[in-house]
A and B are shown apart, each in its own frame.
Chain A
Amino acid sequence: MADLVSHPDEVKLISYRFGKGATSIDKYLELDGYSSARKAIALGPEGIIAEMKASGLRGRGGAGFPTGLKWSFVPKQAPKPKYVLVNGDESEPGTCKDRLIFEHDPHSVIEGVIIAGLAIGSKMGFIYLRGEYRYLLKIMEKAIDDAYAKGFLGKGIFGSDVDFDIVSHTGAGAYEVGEESALMESLEGKRGIPRIRPPFPAVVGLYGGPTIINNAETLATVPHIFRIGGAEYAKLGSERNGGTRLFCLSGNVAKPGVYELPMGYNLKKMIYEVGGGIPGGRSLKAVVPGGSSTPVLLPNEIDIGMDFDQVGKAGSMLGSGGVVVLDDSVCMVEFALRTMKFYQHESCGWCIPCREGTDWLKKTLTRFHAGAGVAKDIDNIRYLAQNMLGRTFCPLGDAAAMPTIAFVDKFRKEFEDHLDGKPCPYAHHPEAALAHA
């Protein structure tokens, strides 16, 4: 099933409890669990935020916003209650890491939420899991119950005068709900349509009150930062990109799996050494570095360190850590089409450039891949995608447009090879890619 893998280059900071039965609260306590929450109570809000800033932790959901800075935006005084919201809606294609945290170390998320709550003066946290992660929700529910039973949640946590409650919550199938403002809308019982920003959630969030929303991996990392110290955490990574992160290696690679590697780890090394290279005698054609929303990289562009800044400089994004490796049997036009089908399906429909743009791209790429494309389609695809950028309430439009631009720019020849009714050069025998053994 969701098997665990390992490689000597891993730095097992947040994954060191995986496979050790840490869903049991007693085991979690044995493995240094809940000591950071106690430390945080003693440190107080300013101390907590200072340590978070020192760690250099940046959001692990995709955007990479500095976590300590985000927490510091919450006003000290606020007329409405404040909340902590865990984004466990993991749905970015290529991403399967939060799943392992929920499965093997749910208490680390709970502990992270408690620390975040202490930092901002919140009394309530929500852990939102995507609907498809039902078995993980059950694990999380038990972990929360166990934490209450031990007095780590509820009234006077850890014997302090702080009250803190956590409620777990299921989604029901929607990628867009992973966008932080759509997540809040969904938690409030509505369609997952994003909100205009400003105001940002740290000031006006859930139920109108200040809210910090963080990805599950980000919050799971928090207790470890207090366990080893912010500065120590920062040192594990690269400049301005502290720590380690979970990378999900998938696609045409010999050893797919979720690996915890330092920020800044070389992508080429990741594919060929950690991932074992491309199997079946094939060669590398392209890599999607951080989930389907990130522009594709060519083989001559992968000699880069995987952190937010270096991948940004290379014209793409670190994103969600979903590293999808493509070999030379993949048709990039079909890949672009499948990507657009996804965004068209998941677009919430609110903003015209996204709703109409993803729909047009899907229809045009469908016609194009089927052999009915004309030369000017290629430039039109790029032109339309370009005009979607920055014109929507949320980044879903950009997430569809930026990869499209990269597909056209980097694989124009492949698009041209589909013109004039020519059959797809990569059309394979049905079931050829699906093993029978």
Chain B
Amino acid sequence: MSTAITTIFSPALAARFDRMVTLYPLRRSALIPMLLYAQDEVGCLSDDVIREVAARVEITELDVRNVLSYYSLLHTAPRGKYHVQVCTNISCMVRGGNELFDHCKKRLGIGNKQTTPDKLFSLEEVECIGACSWAPAVQVNYDFHENLTADSMDKVLDDYRTRD
């Protein structure tokens, strides 16, 4: 796909996608990274995103939707600016992961997979994020926050809130 064709992505991202499809023996290999990076920029996998990604990778939109529905980081609905992902899998669970998740629900006033009315935070109970030796742990977007207590979790949320 030439950069001359209309793109909904920023020039830098469009250029990155132009290059990405040439890196692999098959174009289609670029699909999942492309979806994730598109989502990072646009916020969610909207119909427009799916349409352009399908065209770039040269597969049908149905095929794109089929693939994206498999991967838990990919979502078609918008989320909060800061997506708070609390691990409650085994190592985090035995170090207070469930309680940490309940604490976040109370502090943010929302439940699992919900977004605050000001669209600043969304919350999700997630599977193991690879921070087991530093449990309990949370990811906010791609940032790790570890060895958490109720108080340090409050500070993490406050820091994101004041960033805004």
Contact = CB atoms under 8 A, between A and B. Distances in A.
Contacts of B133: 2, 96, 248-250, 256-258
B23 interface: yes
A173 B72 contact: yes
A7 B31 CA distance: 44
B25 A207 contact: yes
A419 interface: no
Interface in B12-59: 23-26, 28-33, 35-36, 57, 59
Nearest to B143: A135
The bracket for how many chain B residues form the interface is 35 or more
B140 to A, nearest CB: 12
A169 interface: yes
Main secondary structure of the interface of A (DSSP, over half): loop
Interface string B82-116: 00000011110111101110110000000000000
A434 B130 contact: no
Interface stretch (A261-269, A341-349, A351-359): A341-349
A189 B127 contact: no
Contacts of A49: none
Residue from A91, A94, A98 having most chain B Cβ neighbours under 10 A: A94
A189 B28 contact: yes
A174 B71 contact: yes
Contact of B132 (A96, A135, A326, A434): A96
B131 interface: yes
Contacts of A433: 94-96, 98-99
Contact of B90 (A135, A190, A249, A292): A292
15 contacts: A1-B144, A2-B144, A81-B25, A91-B127, A93-B127, A96-B132, A124-B25, A167-B23, A170-B36, A173-B74, A174-B71, A189-B59, A192-B70, A335-B94, A436-B149
Interface of A: 1-3, 81, 90-96, 98-99, 124, 130-135, 167, 169-175, 186-192, 206-207, 248-252, 256-258, 288, 292, 322, 324, 326-327, 330, 335, 338-339, 342, 345-346, 348, 430-437
Interface of B: 23-26, 28-33, 35-36, 57, 59, 66-67, 70-74, 88-91, 93-96, 98-100, 102-103, 127-136, 139, 142-144, 146, 149-151
